[in-house]
Structure 1
Amino acid sequence: MPFPDEIAPVEVLPHRAHWAGDFDLLAAELSAALGPLALAVDHVGSTSVPGLAAKDCVDIQVRVAAPPEPASLAPPLTALGYRLRPEPWNRKELSGGVSCRKLVFAPPVGAAVRHNVHLRAHDGPNARFALLFRDHLRADAAARDAWGAFKTRLVRSAPDLFEYGQIKASATTVLMLAAERWAADTGWRVPPPPARPPTGPASGGVGPGTD
């Protein structure tokens, strides 16, 4: 659930060019804070797909070496003002039939850019899911446009965040069936994290065919 300062009606906007730059600045800050704990920092979600309508909230995935635990990963982020989301669904998610641990952080109060930080194991199916979603829609303009049109229609009838999210989650399952076919046809794979953690603004993607 959102923290009190985050509560607002859901709004889906045409794609904003500044989302990529917002990600770069946030990724650099996160990389510096987490150091070698951050194996990769990925721009994920709809704001990472040029031309795709999205909520004005940048989703950032940080891939770590093992299933994320608050004891080691929360302190560097809470020192920056990030807030660990406490709900059970922000601690575990089902991906490919596998229950995967994760941590989700809300931005500091008053942050200039709305964003969420998702920490996942680098070899987890949930990390792969996020990257495949992004790369498939980057590569397939028809799928991208259809997904954006669906979300734009959905928010008109379901402006409540919970209802919007529940309906979108069911539709995402269908979208990802097409994404898996695309991955099989193209040989798409998630490359391993870079040998050294990033020390400057991140590139915004690690999958093939991105950007």
Structure 2
Amino acid sequence: MTEIVIARPDDTWPAQYQKTAQVISGLLGELAQRIDHVGSTSVPGLPAKDIIDIQVTVGTEPDLDDVAERMAAADWELRPPRRDHPVPGLPADDIQWVKRMLVEPMYRRRVNLHIRVAGRANQRYALLFRDYLRSHPETARAYAVFKEQAAALRLGIGDYTDLKDPVCDLIYLPAEEWAARTGWTI
């Protein structure tokens, strides 16, 4: 079992994202509608696993497999899951949560690459979650405390994720209210 390690915030995470995003953009071209830095490393000052989460947004569901195949040809490894967890209060339709996930080629900077379809609930979730935490540093600090305490439980990655998902949802649900109030859009 791999131990979950929460690292101190690293001011170079955005630059590391930019470098990796350029490589991904070069591999995918117009298949990628957008490439975004998501997850905890995208929130300034937030402790995180030292893994850069990147979301590639594609236009259609068949594009998910096209991107996965193109990345696999460049030695990225396709991994489960093939969907995100449904969020209470959001559409339960499986189509809203479909994704592909890949990890970096061996001996490269650690990256989780999430491929999601534009306009789907899971694509919006990652971006709104990030922007809400960026705009609410107190919430980000409380989330950091949770992550550090969860990591101290020495869970495997699957159990850690299962524990973390509902906590993220508790953050996300008021983020939807914030988005409506402020006019936030993707």
Q: Is the pair's TM-score, using the shorter chain for normalization, greater than 0.5? A: yes
2:176 counterpart of 1:185: no
Q: Which has the higher helix share?
A: 2
Higher relative contact order (CA 8 A, sep 6+): 1
Conserved? CA contact 1:45–1:58, under 8 Å? yes
Distance in 1, Cα, partners of 2:121 & 2:20: 24
2:17 counterpart of 1:23: yes
Partner of 1:169: 165
Distance in 2, Cα, partners of 1:21 & 1:8: 26
* Superposed displacement of residue 57, structure 1: 0.5
TM-aligned CA distance change 1:71 to 1:170, over 3 Å: closer
Structure 2: gaps of 5 or more residues: none
Partner of 1:103: 100
How many residues align? The count is 180
| Counterpart amino acid of residue 41 in structure 1 | I
Conserved? CA contact 1:68–1:119, under 8 Å? no
Under a length normalisation based on structure 1, what TM-score does the superposition of the two structures give? 0.80
Distance in 2, Cα, partners of 1:63 & 1:173: 21
Structure 1: gaps of 5 or more residues: 1-6, 191-211
Q: Report runs of 4+ in structure 1 exceeding 3 Å deviation.
A: 68-71
Give the 5 Å matches for 1:15-54: 15-54=9-48
Partner of 1:136: 132
* Superposed displacement of residue 136, structure 1: 0.1
Identity among equivalent positions (%) equals: 34
Q: Which has the higher strand share?
A: 1
Partner of 1:203: none
Conserved? CA contact 1:68–1:121, under 8 Å? no
Under a length normalisation based on structure 2, what TM-score does the superposition of the two structures give? 0.90
Q: 1:157 aligns with which of 153, 163, 175?
A: 153
Which moves more between the two structures, 65-74 or 13-22? Answer: 65-74
